[in-house]
Amino acid sequence: MKELKGACLFGQSGGPTSVINASAAGVFLEALNQKNITRVYGAVHGIRGILHEELIDINQEDPKELEYLKNTPSSALGSVRYKLKDASVDDTDYKRLLEVFKKYDVRYFFYNGGNDSMDTCNKISKYLQQANYECRVIGVPKTIDNDLFGTDHCPGFASAAKYVATSTMEVYLDSHVYDTGLIVVIEVMGRHAGWLTAAASLANLKGCGADLIYLPEVDFDLDKFMADVKAVAAKTNNKAIIVVSEGIHDKDGKFIAEYGKDVAHDSFGHAQLGGVGLFLAGKINAELGVKVRAIELSLLQRCAAHCGSARDIEEAFNAGKMAVKYAISGETDKMVIFERKNQKDYEIEYKLVDLLYAANTEKKVPLEWINKEHNGVNEKFAEYALPLIQGELKFPLEDGLPRFAHLKKVMVQK
């Protein structure tokens, strides 16, 4: 293995999770310890911070505060949703990136994000190779959606899953308290993959779960849904918990959320969803005449660090750490993945997959884990997901409130 000396640059991208900063801590604390890494930089707002040359000097941060990053949700450096054009179409951004990389002698580049971010990371990696600029590029996975290809699961998913399952249990107890009926529709994030929505089923293991769960992996039929709800309501004296993914759609691919409103699109061409829970709640109320509540878990589900999975935090930290170790060992153009060694005694290995495969390939809940009625998941899901939410969370408090990291964020002189 050839030694490579130079600076390290880390960026965060895409939607926040509870543990994206745990990966940052892993990258930073490992990089600061590596003799071949001359300087550690953090990009402000991911790729945009590199283009604008807005870099934070991580060497000036207090290592104790970097430890606090493990329990600080969202992206401490700032995130971004910025789609790089293909270099063959327009290489302006790439030229600028290379210029900045050269200026700061960046020889290690780590990018933390989901599908779209791995696409960005892959494009940069390929461009740097083609430009013959030696730089080791490793992607660090992250997404509550759990839909990255090639890895058993993604950092961020388990903490959100624990929050969804815990909240479902708590809402179950709350909503079953009166002798009158109440149907609760809980809306969970996940545009195309239902992993997080399926996590509500973990509450069922404890007898406080969802009666009906709808994932975007299968088509949603409103009439069938109403029949399902009526059947449950008849059996339960109108008390039910229904959990739906924001991304459920009909057989023509139309989002059910669109049934009730117009839909805008973000810069990746994704429909801006939300509101499907409210729409379905209104429908149930109108047809059954019972009291209905829609609860959209919204941002809460992806930033609830106070309910994080200890195992998720540890793995997210290690993903960042291993990215640096692999890069130092000579690897590049890859993304860190988790490989589950065996099902019984949960254990994972940190391995690598080509960035090309990680980018833009979505991993969905296997259809054979979804029940025949398409309104729930079977025991396979719990076998998969339950090990991920284990461990005893040590969540630092100060005055009874979360103690989040305080970074100095000293900007590097341009």
Please answer whether residues 212 and 228 qualify as being in contact, where contact means their C-beta atoms are separated by less than 8 angstroms. Answer: yes
Q: Which of 295, 322, 337, 352 binds a copy of itself (CB under 8 A)?
A: 295
Quick one: tokens of 272?
């801006």
CA 202 to CA 381: how far, in whole Å?
A: 8
The binding track of 54-73 with respect to a copy of itself, each residue x by CB under 8 A or -, is ------------------xx
What pairs with residue 362 in β-bridges?
A: 148
CA 81 to CA 84: how far, in whole Å?
A: 10
Helices (H), 36-156: 46-51, 63-68, 92-103, 115-130
Which residue, 166 or 245, has its beta carbon nearer to a copy of itself?
A: 166
Containing 334, the helix (H) or strand (E) segment is strand 334-342
For 212, phi then psi, to 5°, come to -140, 135
What pairs with residue 6 in β-bridges?
A: 37
Q: Which of 48, 153, 249, 283 binds a copy of itself (CB under 8 A)?
A: 48
Q: Which of 293, 340, 351, 409 binds a copy of itself (CB under 8 A)?
A: 293
Please report, as a single letter, which amino acid is at residue 325.
Answer: K
Q: Does 16 bind a copy of itself (CB under 8 A)?
A: yes
Q: Which of 303, 316, 319, 348 binds a copy of itself (CB under 8 A)?
A: 303
Report helix, strand or coil for 85. coil
Q: Does 206 bind a copy of itself (CB under 8 A)?
A: yes
Sole residue written with tokens 């049934």: 259
Please answer whether residues 212 and 376 qualify as being in contact, where contact means their C-beta atoms are separated by less than 8 angstroms. Answer: yes
The binding track of 103-142 with respect to a copy of itself, each residue x by CB under 8 A or -, is ----------------------------------------
> Which residue in 116, 145, 228, 333 is the catalytic one?
145
Which residue, 307 or 348, has its beta carbon nearer to a copy of itself?
A: 307
First to last CA, the chain: 33
Considering only residues 237-276, where is the footprint of a copy of itself by CB under 8 A? Answer: 274
Stretch that binds a copy of itself, among 77-85, 101-109, 316-324, 361-369 (CB under 8 A): 77-85
Which residue, 231 or 310, has its beta carbon nearer to a copy of itself?
A: 310
Q: Is 145 a catalytic residue?
A: yes
Sign of the Cα pseudo-torsion (311, 313, 315, 317, in order): negative
Please answer whether residues 58 and 106 qualify as being in contact, where contact means their C-beta atoms are separated by less than 8 angstroms. Answer: no
The binding track of 152-181 with respect to a copy of itself, each residue x by CB under 8 A or -, is ----------x--xxx-xxx-xxxxxxx--
Q: Does 96 bind a copy of itself (CB under 8 A)?
A: no
The 10 Å Cβ neighbour count of residue 227 is 11
The site that binds a copy of itself (CB under 8 A) totals a number of residues, namely 58
User: Cβ of residue 85: shortest distance to a copy of itself, in angstroms?
Assistant: 19
Q: Does 401 bind a copy of itself (CB under 8 A)?
A: yes
Please answer whether residues 319 and 165 qualify as being in contact, where contact means their C-beta atoms are separated by less than 8 angstroms. Answer: no
Residues 22, 23, 27, 32: what is their CA dihedral angle, to the nearest 10 degrees?
0
User: Cβ of residue 345: shortest distance to a copy of itself, in angstroms?
Assistant: 15
Q: Which of 223, 345, 368, 398 binds a copy of itself (CB under 8 A)?
A: 398
User: Using CB under 8 A as the criterion, which residues of the chain lie in contact with a copy of itself when the complex forms?
Assistant: 16, 45, 48, 72-75, 78-81, 162, 165-167, 169-171, 173-179, 184, 202-203, 205-206, 208, 274, 278, 293, 295-296, 298-300, 302-307, 309, 386, 389-392, 397-402, 404
- Catalytic (active-site) positions: 145
